[in-house]
Amino acid sequence: MDDEFEVDDIKQSFSEFKGLPQKLNLHSAPEFPVVIREEDNRPQPRMDRMAGNGMAVSVGRIRKDDVFDKGLKYVLVGHNTIRGAAGASILNAELINEIM
């Protein structure tokens, strides 16, 4: 099995990801749940936590790990309240309403 990967392929996979909430076009679901940041100093909580009205996560500094072979390192920022407890509860209710 070939475990090699390219960082650009990982970025593309992250940016193309669509979950069930996006496929069902739920009201609270961000169009793009994962936002890729290319800047060397991003993501940053103060600047990126409100991506997708707080319902998306920002991912940046994606790179291969120098310590572990075939490893990947990245920084991820999300809004803990909006995307976390409160937003997830609302999104789950919308999802249940849609599939029931």
pLDDT at 58: 98
Q: What is the reported pLDDT for 2?
A: 60
Q: Which of 39, 19, 33 is nearest to 98 (CA)?
A: 19
Q: For position 66, what pLDDT does the model report?
A: 87
**pLDDT 10s digits, 52-93:** 999 999 999 999 998 988 899 999 999 999 999 899 999 999
- Walk me through the domains of the chain, giving residue ranges and CATH numbers: 7-99 (3.30.360.10)
Prediction pTM value = 0.88
Has residue 12 got a pLDDT over 60?
yes
- What pLDDT is stored for residue 78 in this prediction? 95
pLDDT at residue 68, rounded to an integer = 85
